[in-house]
Chain A
Amino acid sequence: MITFRLNRSHKIALWLIFFIAVGGILAGLYMYNLQDKDLAKVKPDFIMTASELQRAFETDEAAAGPKYINRIIELSGEVESVKPGENQTMVITLKTENPLSAVSCTMQSESLPPEFVAGNQVSLRGQCSGFLMDVLMNNCTVTGKSN
């Protein structure tokens, strides 16, 4: 039978390798299971009205894209409609000064406060995805300033 004798430095090295391996696995699992950020706890990059954001894309989409897409934006505006989407999602549309275009915001159904109904002034925070017919905002959350 072959036996190995480890000196003190070998033991320390083995323990270090073990802890690094376990740390790596835990970090990987953490990253893999990471959910979207709760944007209510994130400082917005911009605070503006729905009309201002829509106008920026309508006027110069090439300039507005790099400036706003992927950024966290806190928006205020009047609710035009609230419609259920698939998979526990609500789609809130905010009016803009252009009757043909709005700001469309997706939010988890359980996060939708009762004051989010057509005609009410609300405030929300979300991540801008870009411009289709409307400016699209995702992962939206309420900022607590709605009324």
Chain B
Amino acid sequence: MKRIVLFTIAVLLALPSGAQKYMTRNGYIGFYSHTALEDIKGDNNQVASVLDIATGGIVFQVLVKSFHFDKALMEEHFNENYMESEKFPKSTFNGKITNLSEVDFSKNGTYDVTVEGDLTIHGVTNKVTTKGTLEVRSDGISAASRFSLVPEDYKIEIPGLVRNNIAKSMEITVTMKYEPMSGK
């Protein structure tokens, strides 16, 4: 129970009463690496995330082992050689929408947003800023973003032998379908 509550309480404690929170436990984060030698793609459909529309606060948590690859060997190398998922089992993002005033949560539509915050991968935290969209619907909110990430910025070491098989910069895709937090 402690673990479950920690994730939500971490966000909830900082929020004013009456704030509206949205949540998903089945969000998607994928990454894609393209080189002339090889394409590598990992998908994770079990991302937990909370969005607070009163403050613009946004939090993600991902289990590294939940990334799925087409090839078993890629998955093994991803977990054991690069991400060291035994040692660093989770990746997190804790940030904020910086142009929250431009989003009208009372009106259905798609809004451009800028998000900045701390991204922790492989035990290394970096400040990131990225663009994305929020789609406000009567039954929930969808969020989408695409940005690039350099493995070496997170001290992910890629051996020289396979360095040309892996792109210098990974493309990260984020897709969340939030529901009001009153439901599970």
Q: Spell out A's residues near B (CB within 8 Å).
A: 31-37, 57-58, 61, 69-70, 80, 83, 85-87, 89, 91, 93, 98-102, 104, 106, 129-134, 136, 138-139
A81 CB to closest chain B CB (Å) equals 8
- Given A87-B30, A89-B43, A133-B48, decide whether A61 and B68 contact each other with a Cβ distance below 8 A: no
Q: How large is the interface on B (under 10, 10 to 19, 20 to 34, 35 or more residues)?
A: 20 to 34
Q: Which residue of chain B lies nearest to A33 when distances are taken between CB atoms in the complex? A: B71
B146 neighbours in A (Cβ, 8 Å)? none
Known: A133-B4, A133-B8. 13 other contacts (CB 8 A): A32-B71, A36-B75, A57-B3, A58-B2, A61-B3, A85-B28, A86-B28, A86-B43, A89-B68, A106-B68, A129-B63, A132-B48, A134-B46
- B14-50 interface mask toward A, CB cutoff 8 Å, 1 = contact, 0 = none? 0000000000011010100000000000010110100
For residue B161, CB closer than 8 A to chain A, the reply is no
In-complex Cβ contact of B45 among A33, A37, A86 (8 A) = A86
Q: How far is the CB of A28 from chain B (nearest CB, A)?
A: 10
Residue from the list B1, B61, B73, B175 in contact with A98, Cβ < 8 A: B1
Residues B73 and A138 in contact, CB atoms below 8 Å apart? no
A-B contacts counted at CB < 8 A amount to: 98
- CA of A43 to CA of B42, assembled, Å: 27
B147 close to chain A: CB less than 8 A:
no
Q: Which of A36, A69, A129 has the most CB of B within 10 A?
A: A129
Inter-subunit contact B4/A58 (CB<8 Å): yes
Report the bound CA distance from A78 to B98 in whole Å.
41
Taking the closest CB of chain A, its distance from the CB of B67, in whole angstroms, is: 9
User: Is B125 in the interface zone, CB < 8 Å from A?
Assistant: no
Q: Are A132 and B45 in contact (CB-based, < 8 A)? A: no
B47-89 interface (Cβ within 8 A of A): 48, 61-63, 65-66, 68, 70-73, 75, 89
- Cα(A31)–Cα(B89), bound, Å: 25
- Identify 19 residue pairs between A and B in the complex whose beta-carbon atoms are under 8 Å apart, listed by A's number: A33-B71, A34-B71, A34-B73, A35-B70, A35-B72, A37-B72, A70-B65, A87-B30, A89-B43, A91-B26, A100-B5, A101-B4, A106-B45, A106-B46, A129-B63, A129-B66, A133-B61, A136-B66, A139-B68
- Partner-A contacts on B (CB < 8 A): 1-5, 7-8, 25-26, 28, 30, 43, 45-46, 48, 61-63, 65-66, 68, 70-73, 75, 89-90, 175, 184
Instruction: Find B26's partner among A69, A83, A99, A100 (CB 8 Å cutoff).
Output: A83
**A37 proximity list for chain B (CB < 8 A):** 72
Determine the residue in chain A with the shortest Cβ distance to B43: A87
Q: Are A104 and B28 closer than 8 Å at their CB atoms?
A: no
CA distance A34 to B72 in the complex (A): 6
Do residues A86 and B1 form an inter-chain contact, with CB atoms below 8 A? no
Chain A residues with Cβ below 8 Å from B71 are 32-35
Contacts of A102 in B (CB 8 A): 25, 184
> How many angstroms from the CA of A32 to the CA of B74 in the assembled complex?
8
Q: Are A58 and B184 in contact (CB-based, < 8 A)?
A: no
A85 and B1: CB pair below 8 A? no
A99 CB to closest chain B CB, in angstroms? 7
